[in-house]
């Protein structure tokens, strides 16, 4: 029994609000339903949603510059390309420090590839300079050794800069043999306070040695940048020696004296870089680094629509570099043409399928489905045989006298080839939805129309056709979306003029390895499809789409 409370709520038999009881009953049902679809949901999430998310992320992700050249990016913060001059010495030194680490880890080539997308030549620039960077500041290192040969020994540096606890731990480790990894280098508090640049530079060196090269810093002479840092530190703070033990004071004082006496030259990384490659002496490479230093970039997307980012803002690419907009346009137009031919060819077949007696219709259905049972590659290759200039179709046309032998039709390796082969391959996707919609249109409608005085054509056009439009809609969406992302067939029969944007995406994923651009192109394709879907919904209405 139900009854109502004062405020109009319906009550169930147990006196609880009806709505609440209903919700409780429904919740269990919903939970059951959810558990049933959970495997599919997880599958879709893992194999579909996640990769798409990853693609969207990759199309804007740009960590590599900031990760590989952190010091350079920080040092470039104050520099503006508008100055027209290259940046100052600290930026060169920062780049030298970054490059030493990058070269050791071999990440500078990846960076080169990335920046090469934006400015061709960058890859070889970084490779060349990567080979030279070890020698930069060598004159300072040599001068230091000339002052006191002790600076040529690796242990001198670990003892000067290492934390006493680390030094003893390292000694214990060395004695025990090298089964376990060496304890990571820890700079001493005194070094960090009084020789900050040296401590930092040596810290980097020790870390790279221990992690990348798997060498002990006690056995390798540090990079020249460490020596340069030491001279810098001592110049800035000549009394730093006081903070270290008695045996260090004369050594450090000797360096200070040598510096003041002019025996140690000032480091000039700018000159070293310019010597390695003249380009470093111009603002241009610095511009590129600065422009592409943010962790997120619109560069790939701009590239995907034939634009590029310049210090002056967004600008069109040069004539020769513009390919993608044309490819997008071609993909759209060809897909539309293919959809159109599929409708033209598929509609009568679907009509026959829906209206022939069952026996004949079944046979016809098998013929329609036959292509599904043959490999896509085989079908496409068959088209190659049929369409080529010495192929079956041309032979027949020549034999029939319709085409002159010296003037055979070019049916393949162009857009015609793509249209013919893809129409054939996608035709079933048009026929099947059309058929299943037509199957539900009772023949009595046509009879009714004729009994009301309509000719065969009017009855078809005014009564049958409008009811089959949902099938056309479903088929068109299916064919168009499949066509727009098609890859194998245009690749095989499209030649240079008949390829689609997807072929370019595949190229960037497989050959040029520019995944960011591939992801941006893919994302754009996704957006285009979604927009078209939305437009379609606006014009035709998605409820009007029926797959049967």
Partner 1 sequence: MAEGAMANDAFVVFDRVQKSYDGVTLVVKDLNLSLPKGEFLTMLGPSGSGKTTCLMMLAGFETATHGEIRLNGRNINTVPPHKRGIGMVFQNYALFPHMTVAENLAFPLEVRKLDKSVRDEKVKRALDMVQMGAFAGRRPSQLSGGQQQRIALARALVFEPELVLMDEPLGALDKQLREHMQFEITHLAHNLGITTVYVTHDQTEALTMSDRVAVFNDGRIQQLAPPSELYEAPVNSFVAQFIGENNRLMGTVTEITGETCVVRLDSGDIIDAKPVNVSKVGDRTQVSIRPERVETNKARLRPGVHTLKAEVTEFIYMGDIFRTRLKVAGHDDFVIKTRNAPDQIRHQPGQMIEIGWLPEDCRALDAP
Does residue 444 bind partner 1 (CB under 8 A)? Answer: yes
CA-wise closest residue to 477 among 535, 521, 524: 535
Q: How far is the CB of 467 from partner 1 (least distance, A)?
A: 6
Stretch that binds partner 1, among 297-305, 353-361, 410-418, 460-468 (CB under 8 A): 460-468
Does residue 542 bind partner 1 (CB under 8 A)? Answer: no
Does residue 448 bind partner 1 (CB under 8 A)? Answer: yes
Count of all residues that appear for the chain in the document: 548
Q: Are 47 and 245 in contact (CB under 8 A)?
A: no
Q: How far is the CB of 14 from partner 1 (least distance, A)?
A: 38
Site for partner 1 (CB under 8 A): which residue of 52, 452, 530, 547? 452
Using CB under 8 A, count the residues that bind partner 1. Answer: 19
CB nearer to partner 1: pick between 389 and 451:
451
Q: How far is the CB of 446 from partner 1 (least distance, A)?
A: 9
CA-wise closest residue to 276 among 107, 99, 90, 101: 99
Does residue 357 bind partner 1 (CB under 8 A)? Answer: no
Euclidean distance between CA atoms 289 and 77, whole angstroms? 11
Does residue 27 bind partner 1 (CB under 8 A)? Answer: no
- What are all long-range contacts of 389-397, with beta carbons under 8 Å and residues at least 24 apart? none
Does residue 453 bind partner 1 (CB under 8 A)? Answer: yes
Q: How far is the CB of 456 from partner 1 (least distance, A)?
A: 8
Q: Which H, E and C letters describe 445-514, residue by residue? A: HHHHHHHCCCCHHHHHHHHHHHHHHHHHHHHHHHHHHHHHCCCHHHHHHCCCCCCCHHHHHHHHHHCCCC
Does residue 447 bind partner 1 (CB under 8 A)? Answer: yes
State the helix-helix crossing angle for 89-105 and 269-276, rounded to 10 degrees.
60
Site for partner 1 (CB under 8 A): which residue of 253, 282, 467, 512? 467
Stretch that binds partner 1, among 206-214, 232-240, 385-393, 454-462 (CB under 8 A): 454-462
Stretch that binds partner 1, among 183-191, 229-237, 278-286, 447-455 (CB under 8 A): 447-455
Does residue 445 bind partner 1 (CB under 8 A)? Answer: yes
Does residue 543 bind partner 1 (CB under 8 A)? Answer: no
Site for partner 1 (CB under 8 A): which residue of 64, 454, 482, 540? 454
Does residue 421 bind partner 1 (CB under 8 A)? Answer: no
Phi then psi for residue 261, to 5 deg, are -80, 0
Does residue 440 bind partner 1 (CB under 8 A)? Answer: no
Q: Give exposure, 139-166, as e/b (b: 16+ Cβ within 10 Å).
A: bbbbbbeebeeebeebebbbbbbbbeeb
Does residue 356 bind partner 1 (CB under 8 A)? Answer: no
Alpha helices, H only, 162-238: 164-176, 189-194, 196-208, 224-236
For residue 528, what are the CA distances in angstroms to 180, 331, 380, 521, 523?
56, 11, 27, 10, 9
CB nearer to partner 1: pick between 378 and 539:
539
Does residue 360 bind partner 1 (CB under 8 A)? Answer: no
Euclidean distance between CA atoms 447 and 442, whole angstroms? 9
Return all residues near 510 (Cβ < 8 A) that are at least 6 apart.
none
Q: How far is the CB of 366 from partner 1 (least distance, A)?
A: 25
Rule CB under 8 A: which residues touch partner 1?
A: 442, 444-445, 447-456, 458-459, 462-463, 466-467
């Amino acid at each position: 029994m139900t009854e109502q409370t004062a405020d109009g709520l319906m009550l169930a038999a147990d006196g609880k609000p009806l709505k609440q009881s209903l919700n409780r009953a429904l919740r269990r049902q919903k939970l059951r339903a959810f558990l049933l679809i959970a495997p599919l949901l997880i599958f879709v999430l893992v194999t579909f949603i996640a990769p798409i998310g990853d693609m969207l992320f990759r199309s804007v992700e740009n960590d590599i510059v900031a990760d590989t050249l952190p010091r350079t990016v920080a040092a470039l913060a104050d520099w503006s390309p508008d100055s027209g001059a290259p940046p100052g010495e600290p930026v060169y030194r920062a780049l030298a420090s970054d490059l030493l680490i990058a070269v050791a880890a071999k990440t500078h080539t990846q960076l080169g590839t990335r920046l090469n997308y934006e400015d061709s030549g960058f890859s070889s620039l970084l490779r060349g300079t990567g080979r030279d960077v070890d020698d930069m500041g060598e004159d300072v290192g040599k001068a230091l050794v000339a002052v006191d040969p002790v600076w040529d020994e690796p242990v001198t540096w670990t003892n000067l800069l290492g934390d006493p606890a680390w030094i003893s731990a390292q000694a214990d480790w060395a004695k025990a043999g090298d089964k376990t990894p060496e304890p990571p280098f820890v700079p001493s508090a005194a070094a960090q306070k009084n020789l900050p640049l040296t401590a930092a530079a040596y810290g980097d060196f020790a870390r790279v040695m221990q992690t990348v090269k798997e060498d002990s810093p006690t056995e390798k002479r540090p990079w020249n940048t460490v020596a340069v840092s030491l001279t810098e530190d001592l110049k800035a703070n000549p009394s730093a020696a006081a903070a270290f033990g008695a045996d260090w004071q004369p050594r450090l004082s000797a360096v200070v004296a040598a510096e003041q006496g002019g025996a140690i030259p000032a480091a000039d990384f700018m000159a070293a870089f310019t010597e390695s490659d003249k380009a470093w002496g111009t603002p241009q490479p610095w511009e590129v680094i600065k422009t592409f230093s943010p962790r997120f970039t619109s560069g790939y997307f701009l590239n995907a629509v034939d634009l590029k980012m310049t210090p002056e803002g967004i600008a069109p690419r040069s004539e020769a570099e513009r390919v993608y907009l044309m490819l997008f346009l071609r993909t759209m137009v060809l897909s539309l043409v293919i959809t159109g031919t599929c409708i033209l060819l598929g509609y009568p077949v679907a009509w026959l399928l829906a209206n022939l007696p069952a026996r004949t219709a079944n046979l016809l259905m098998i013929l329609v489905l036959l292509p599904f049972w043959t490999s896509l590659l085989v079908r496409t290759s068959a088209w190659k045989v049929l369409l080529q200039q010495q192929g079956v179709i041309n032979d027949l046309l020549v034999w029939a006298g319709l085409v002159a032998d010296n003037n055979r039709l070019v049916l393949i390796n162009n857009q015609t080839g793509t249209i013919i082969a893809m129409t054939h391959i996608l035709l079933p996707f048009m026929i099947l939805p059309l058929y299943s919609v037509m199957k539900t249109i009772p023949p009595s409608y046509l009879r009714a129309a004729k009994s009301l005085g309509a000719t065969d054509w009017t009855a078809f056009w005014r009564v049958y056709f409008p009811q089959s439009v949902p099938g056309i809609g479903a088929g068109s969406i299916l064919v168009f979306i499949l066509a727009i992302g098609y890859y194998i067939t245009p690749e095989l029969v499209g030649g240079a003029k008949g390829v689609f944007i997807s072929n370019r995406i595949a190229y960037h994923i497989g050959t040029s390895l520019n995944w960011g651009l591939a992801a941006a192109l893919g994302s754009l394709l996704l957006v285009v499809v979604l927009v078209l879907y939305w437009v379609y919904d606006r014009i035709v209405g998605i409820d009007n789409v029926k797959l049967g």
